[in-house]
Structure 1
Amino acid sequence: MATHREVNPFLKSALEYGPILLFFIAYLRLKDRTFTIAGTEYDGFIVVTAAFIPLLVAATGIMWALTGRLNRMQVATVVLVVVFGGLSVWLNDDRFFKMKPTMIYLLFGGILAVGLLRGQSYLKYVMEEIMPLQDGGWMLLTRRLMYFFIGLAIANEVIWRSFSTETWVYFKTFGLPVAMFGFFMLQGKLFQTYGVDKADR
């Protein structure tokens, strides 16, 4: 059985967000360029996507080696990046990679929905150690997060289908993380109402 190990928070953040920031920087530098590889032309977005896939896999592998475990969300994210990013590169079609956040958020929202239908909060199993709540709080937070994930999936579809690739890259790099941060910030009253002191557990 693997032992969970703590890792330097700065290193953890670098491994989690570094690949995304590098993707963003590389896209800005290469977005207007076209590359000919093995007789096929690829625009900058596809080339950056091709580089992002192994970078994310490597960062996730390092995280696993350092901590001794990965949560289900991390594993699902890597799998979907490899599948949809790989399809974009293989078919030279950026639409697959742009659909990836939609699939991720629908997957997470669907998992939470299944738990709610069974009268359980799967979110509790993932976050209980860092954010202890009463059972009623977990159910309410899970329901809200389920709807939030569905909303993000819809927003991603609208943006990549209706706006430019550059707009979508900004949305993916900054909009989605800010939205997630804002969601949890707005749950302050819920945390106060249903919070549990770790000393009382």
Structure 2
Amino acid sequence: MNEKTVNPVLKQVLELGPTVIFFLIYLRIKDEVYTFGGTDYSGFIVATIVFVPILLVAMGILWILTGKLSRIQVFTAFMVIFFGALTAWFNDERFFKMKTSIVNGLFAVILGIGLLRGKSLLQYVMGDMIPMEQEGWMILTKRLAFGFAVLAVANEIVWRTMSTDAWVKIETFAFPAALFLFLWAQIVMLQKYVIEPDDPKS
């Protein structure tokens, strides 16, 4: 199926909406306790369980509209489902909190393995989005691997030392904002490696 053009605002809503909805649901029920099958579940765990189908519906709509899902989106969705299931099964919010550390850590490791082999796996994933010289991709991959590692460590520090309220707010807003600003800064700094449409290197 070929990729289709979709309104960029709608695309952003479908990509970011589930996380925002999780945040709003959590705020609404964070102090509640729900009993299912004789087991008590906190508002956080119920919000996590509800988040999974919301994410799947949003991804399904995105796939229908665009005809494509990125490998990162599919992987992230799998991790959310997996750790969401563990959270519900063991009735332990730590699993969902650890998910961010593991996902970012795996991204760092995967990019690092590619670098050790002299390849930019980031270029493999994002090459169609940002036409750039090989040297630029290698630099960006090294920096992003470091950035993911920092986010993984930061998440471990946050969830282990701060309240659930603090973690939810940082996970929903601070971490995505930090990653976006980091990526934006890197693209600006690596602008000289970007290949223009009429560039003979393209």
Normalising by the smaller structure, the TM-score range is over 0.9
One-letter amino acid of the structure 1 residue matched with residue 82 of structure 2: V
State the TM-score, normalizing by the size of structure 1. Answer: 0.95
State the TM-score, normalizing by the size of structure 2. Answer: 0.95
Counterpart secondary structure, 1:105:
helix
One-letter amino acid of the structure 2 residue matched with residue 193 of structure 1: K
Counterpart secondary structure, 1:36:
strand
Q: Deviations over 1:23-44 (max 9, x none)?
A: 0011111111111112111110
1:39-118 residue pairs with structure 2 within 5 A?
A: 39-118=38-117
Distance 1:89 1:82 in 2: 10
Q: Structure 1 residues 187-196 or 119-128, which shifts more?
A: 187-196
Q: Which residue of 2 aligns with 1:172?
A: 171
Counterpart secondary structure, 1:35:
strand
One-letter amino acid of the structure 1 residue matched with residue 159 of structure 2: W
Distance 2:71 2:128 in 1: 15
One-letter amino acid of the structure 2 residue matched with residue 103 of structure 1: I
For the 8 Å contact 1:137–1:190, the answer to whether it is kept is no
Q: Which residue of 2 aligns with 1:33?
A: 32
1:130 Cα offset (Å): 2.3
Q: Structure 1 residues 44-53 or 121-130, which shifts more?
A: 121-130
Q: Does 1:197 align with 2:196?
A: yes
Counterpart secondary structure, 1:41:
strand
Query: Any stretches of 5+ residues in structure 1 without a counterpart?
Result: none
Distance 2:197 2:131 in 1: 7
Counterpart secondary structure, 2:190:
helix
Query: Any stretches of 5+ residues in structure 2 without a counterpart?
Result: none
Counterpart secondary structure, 1:42:
strand
Distance 1:192 1:7 in 2: 27
CA-based RMSD:
1.1
Greater than 4 Å deviation, 4+ residue runs:
none
1:129 Cα offset (Å): 2.3
Distance 2:104 2:25 in 1: 25
Q: Does 1:186 align with 2:185?
A: yes
One-letter amino acid of the structure 2 residue matched with residue 162 of structure 1: T
Q: Which residue of 1 aligns with 2:15?
A: 16
Counterpart secondary structure, 2:35:
strand
For the 8 Å contact 1:34–1:44, the answer to whether it is kept is yes
1:192 Cα offset (Å): 2.4
1:137 Cα offset (Å): 0.7
One-letter amino acid of the structure 2 residue matched with residue 127 of structure 1: M
Identity %: 49
Query: Structure 2 vs 1, CA of residues 61 and 137 (structure 1 numbering), >3 Å: closer, same or farther?
Result: same
Q: Does 1:143 align with 2:142?
A: yes
The number of aligned residues is 200
Distance 1:188 1:57 in 2: 30
1:189 Cα offset (Å): 4.8
